[in-house]
């Protein structure tokens, strides 16, 4: 039974402490690792103003890293606005499976290719449970801000690869939309990717 200040996870009826959701890892999900990969300005913006084209300001080195990660992991999850921003580049490719979260999967019926490009209105917990049951061990979460918020609120993210480009944007979307999350991270590595000072940080969620 949930008490005041707790939110009941509608999927399994587990309760989720609003104050520290990222530290609550549901037992059911423990076999499935979710890795967040994002690139941001030094002040935490993932878009410049509202321009969805991030390739205008991200470095070649970050793009190479991102594509290396995509080639190592078959499963990628994103929100519908990220899909819209990248849709030109999202084509069926080998065993890669892309799952796009949207409240209106029917709107994307023509773009659906089962096993390769799929649209789902599941909650993050439902999706990760289903994919874990299908045998997946890892999923890459590639944004955007709103989708990231949902995964952090559900305590589902295990690792973060954050590239920091040496830029400052006065306006733009933040890496995780405001919400009810509060996580502690442990730094695993820092890598300088180029001369101008693009940094790649790897963090793990610290279980406390
Ligand atoms: N710098 C980076 O690394 C990076 C990475 C990714 C994206 N971006 C940028 O971020 C922007 C997009 O971020 P965003 O926060 O606006 O949007 P987003 O997280 O990509 O997508 C949010 C939308 O996805 C759908 N959605 C998400 N979770 C859902 C769920 N559980 N069930 C049903 N629908 C769900 C909803 O749309 P509907 O229901 O209306 O379909 C929601 O409005 C783009 O401009 C993109 O270029 C940057």
Tell me the pLDDT tens digit for each residue of 82-120. 999 999 989 888 889 999 999 999 999 999 999 999 999
Separation CA 205–CA 84 (nearest Å): 29
Burial 137-148 (b: 16+ CB within 10 A, else e): eebbbbbbbbbb
Q: Which of 66, 110, 117 is nearest to 93 (CA)?
A: 117
What residues are in contact with ligand 1 under a 6 Å CB criterion?
38-40, 46-47, 52, 54, 78-82, 85, 101-104, 121, 123-124, 142-147, 150, 173, 177
Rounded to 5 degrees, what are φ and ψ at 150? -60, -40
CATH superfamily, with its number, for domain 6-205: Dihydrofolate Reductase, subunit A (3.40.430.10)
Sign of the dihedral through C-alpha 147, 152, 156, 162: positive
Tell me the pLDDT tens digit for each residue of 136-187. 999 999 999 999 999 999 999 999 999 999 999 999 999 999 999 999 999 9
Q: What is the Å distance from ligand 1's center to 80 Cα?
A: 5
pTM: 0.89
Strands 33-41 and 138-141: parallel
């Amino acid at each position: 039974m949930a008490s005041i200040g707790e939110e009941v996870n509608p999927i399994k009826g587990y309760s989720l402490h609003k104050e520290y959701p990222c530290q609550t890892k549901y037992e059911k999900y423990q076999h499935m690792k979710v890795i967040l990969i994002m690139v941001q300005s030094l002040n935490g913006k993932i878009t410049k103003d509202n321009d969805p084209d991030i390739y205008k300001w991200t470095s070649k080195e970050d793009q190479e890293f991102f594509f290396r990660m995509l080639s190592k992991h078959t499963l990628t999850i994103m929100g519908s606005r990220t899909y819209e921003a990248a849709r030109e580049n999202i084509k069926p490719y080998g065993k890669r499976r892309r799952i796009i979260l949207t409240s209106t999967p029917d709107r994307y019926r023509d773009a659906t290719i089962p096993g390769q490009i799929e649209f789902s209105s599941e909650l993050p917990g439902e999706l990760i449970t289903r994919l874990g049951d299908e045998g997946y061990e890892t999923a890459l979460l590639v944004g955007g801000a709103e989708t990231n918020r949902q995964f952090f609120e559900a305590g589902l993210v295990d690792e973060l690869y954050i590239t920091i480009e040496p830029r400052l944007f006065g306006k733009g979307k933040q890496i995780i939309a405001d919400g009810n999350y509060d996580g502690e991270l442990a730094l695993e590595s820092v890598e300088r990717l180029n001369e101008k000072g693009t940094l790649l940080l790897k963090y793990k969620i610290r279980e406390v």
